[in-house]
Amino acid sequence: MTETGIPLSEAVKGSVLEIKGMSIQGVMRRRLLDLGFVPGNTVEVVRRSPLGDPTAFRISNTMIALRREESSLIYGEPIGGETE
């Protein structure tokens, strides 16, 4: 699968993205899909911890914190809500 968009780890706080895909495999991929990180779903970058890792995302009405390890492998296209 070809991935488009930017990694979630690069998205600015407050932005909303439409998920395009991810390049994680195996159990972790399954887990993220179960949590709602599926193509077409929207995710909001809610908060970053002081050192930038992990980051809290809102997806399907739930807050999920991901480390850069994972969020850098999930891709989305910004669809608005950006601050700066």
Our finding on whether 33 is near other proteins (CB under 8 A) is yes
Read off the DSSP letter of residue 12. P
In the complex, the smallest distance separating the C-beta of residue 19 from other proteins, rounded to whole angstroms, is 12
Dist CA 64 CA 47 (whole Å) = 10
Our finding on whether 21 is near other proteins (CB under 8 A) is no
Which region, judged by CB under 8 A, interacts with other proteins, from 2-10, 29-37, 49-57, 75-83?
Answer: 29-37
Which region, judged by CB under 8 A, interacts with other proteins, from 15-23, 25-33, 46-54, 65-73?
Answer: 25-33
DSSP 16-49: EEEEEEE---HHHHHHHHHHT--TT-EEEEEEE-
Instruction: Show contacts with other proteins in window 42-81 (CB under 8 A).
Output: 59-62
The residue behind tokens 């809500």 is 81
Q: Which residues contact 31 (CB under 8 A, 6 or more apart)?
A: none
In the complex, the smallest distance separating the C-beta of residue 13 from other proteins, rounded to whole angstroms, is 22
